[in-house]
Amino acid sequence: MSKQAGLLPVIDLTADTPCCPPLAQSPVPAQTAAVLAPAFKALGDPVRLRLMSMIASAKSGEACVCDLTPAFDLTGPTISHHLKTLREAGLVDAERRGTWVYYRARPAILRQLAGLLSVEPAAVA
């Protein structure tokens, strides 16, 4: 059981977490914070934020590493490392097809994070 385990995400809060109420509505429980914080942490690096966006906004729904890498002044291994971080945070999925590896966003998690951050639009002065 080690076929391509390295390419699979480690966390799958996608299914488990009951899509918690907004952060500004009730205090986030410690356990929920422990699960969700790593996702924010993964987005807390400019390179990963751009990678995430490039993947999520790709027209075909997926992005090839070969298209991602040249967009940065960083070496291949470094980009690969950041992609692994996004993978382990459950934000993206990876699939190898032939020579190339394609990354795909997991919209469920993005929605969950966005929901946590959401605030009533007309609640402020």
Partner DNA sequence: CGTCTGTCTTGACGTTCGTCGAATCAGAGA
Partner DNA sequence: TCTCTGATTCGACGAACGTCAAGACAGACG
* Cβ distance to DNA smaller for residue 61 or 76: 76
Count of positions (residues) in the chain: 125
Helix (H, G, I), strand (E, B) or coil at 93: strand
| Amino acid occupying residue 124 | V
**Residue 40 is a binding residue for DNA (CB under 7 A):** no
Binding string, residues 34-63; x marks residues near a second copy by CB under 8 A: x-xxx-xxxxxxxxxxx-xxx-xx------
Binding to a second copy in span 8-27, by CB under 8 A? 23-27
| Smallest separation (angstroms) from DNA to the CB of 99 | 5
Token output for 111:
């929605």
Cβ(95)–Cβ(61) below 8 Å? no
**Residue 51 is a binding residue for DNA (CB under 7 A):** no
**Residue 4 is a binding residue for a second copy (CB under 8 A):** no
Q: Which residues pair with 100 in a beta bridge?
A: 97
CA 108 – CA 89 distance, rounded (Å): 13
Largest separation between any pair of C-alpha atoms in the chain: 57
Helix (H, G, I), strand (E, B) or coil at 82: helix
Answer with the entry of a second copy, DNA, none that 26 interacts with (C-beta below 5 to 8 A by kind).
Answer: a second copy
* Cβ distance to DNA smaller for residue 82 or 106: 82
Answer with the entry of a second copy, DNA, none that 100 interacts with (C-beta below 5 to 8 A by kind).
Answer: DNA
DSSP code at position 74: S
Binding site for DNA (CB under 7 A): 4, 6-7, 41, 44-45, 47-48, 64-66, 69, 73-85, 94, 96, 98-101
